[in-house]
A and B are shown apart, each in its own frame.
Chain A
Amino acid sequence: QKEVEQNSGPLSVPEGAIASLNCTYSDRGSQSFFWYRQYSGKSPELIMSIYSNGDKEDGRFTAQLNKASQYVSLLIRDSQPSDSATYLCAVTYNQAGTALIFGKGTTLSVSS
């Protein structure tokens, strides 16, 4: 059974702080990793993708991947109230890399 695990939260941080979201996955063959953001009552939207070990930065967001530890993380710097949402970790599970399985998500609350 291929699984993606996340702490459900809620994770509460003050405005301007760094939010750290974590994810582990079970399938060592997974090649591609993604973070989606889902606002309450809305559909998920992609915010970051990462394919190789190390860090990838995009604005206030940094994704980190460690394939040996089967661990993915997302750091949000200078957190804003508008970042309050559920963050879903997603991993490709087949060799073709065409299908994603998602974690249950971590709910982030940023207080002003």
Chain B
Amino acid sequence: DAGVIQSPRHEVTEMGQEVTLRCKPISGHDYLFWYRQTMMRGLELLIYFNNNVPIDDSGMPEDRFSAKMPNASFSTLKIQPSEPRDSAVYFCASVRGISGELFFGEGSRLTVL
């Protein structure tokens, strides 16, 4: 299997711009997670989906963040407008069923200037 695929791998943008991060989970996995990692806060769960339905978005920091999963093979995380404090590595992960073995993508490193 190809693994979890994220794009872009690196994104540099200016404050106020819209950022869209993309994720393709492993085929057959029914859970998808978005995490954000910074030195200060570690790996934070932002939102997760089960069978394309958002289950818990309590980790989404504010209304500037939104996530969608229109089908089983694609999810987006959008930040609008972006701010310098959003700079982080954003990871997407997927898993089949109830299991702690999350399969992570390589991450999208976002820098907001």
Interface positions of A (Cβ within 8 A of B): 32-34, 42-46, 49, 88, 90, 92, 94, 96-105
Inter-chain contact B42/A96, CB cutoff 8 Å: no
Inter-chain contact B100/A45, CB cutoff 8 Å: no
Known: A46-B100, A97-B98, A98-B50. 10 other contacts (CB 8 A): A34-B101, A43-B104, A90-B100, A98-B55, A98-B98, A100-B33, A100-B100, A104-B41, A105-B42, A105-B43
Inter-chain contact B104/A44, CB cutoff 8 Å: yes
Interface residues of B in 85-110 (CB under 8 A from A): 91, 98, 100-102, 104-107
Given A98-B31, A98-B48, A104 contacting B102 (CB threshold 8 A)? no
Q: Which among A42, A88, A97 is the interface contact of B43 at CB below 8 angstroms?
A: A88
Query: Could you jot down 14 A-B contacts, CB within 8 Å?
Result: A34-B100, A42-B106, A43-B106, A44-B104, A46-B102, A49-B100, A97-B100, A98-B50, A98-B55, A99-B48, A99-B56, A100-B102, A102-B35, A104-B42
Inter-chain contact B42/A102, CB cutoff 8 Å: yes
A24 to B55, CA, bound (A): 26
Shortest CB–CB separation between residue A14 and chain B, in angstroms?
27
Shortest CB–CB separation between residue A101 and chain B, in angstroms?
6
Interface positions of B (Cβ within 8 A of A): 31, 33, 35, 41-45, 48, 50, 55-56, 91, 98, 100-102, 104-107
Inter-chain contact B101/A46, CB cutoff 8 Å: yes
Q: Which residues of B sit under 8 angstroms from A44, Cβ to Cβ?
A: 43, 91, 102, 104
Inter-chain contact A102/B56, CB cutoff 8 Å: no
* Central interface residue in B48, B55, B100, by most chain A CB within 10 Å: B100
A98 to B31, CA, bound (A): 8
Inter-chain contact B104/A49, CB cutoff 8 Å: no
A32 to B95, CA, bound (A): 15
A104 to B44, CA, bound (A): 9
> Taking CB as reference atom, which chain A residue is nearest B56?
A99
> Taking CB as reference atom, which chain A residue is nearest B4?
A43
Q: Which residues of A sit under 8 angstroms from B31, Cβ to Cβ?
A: 98
Q: Which residues of A sit under 8 angstroms from B101, Cβ to Cβ?
A: 34, 46, 49
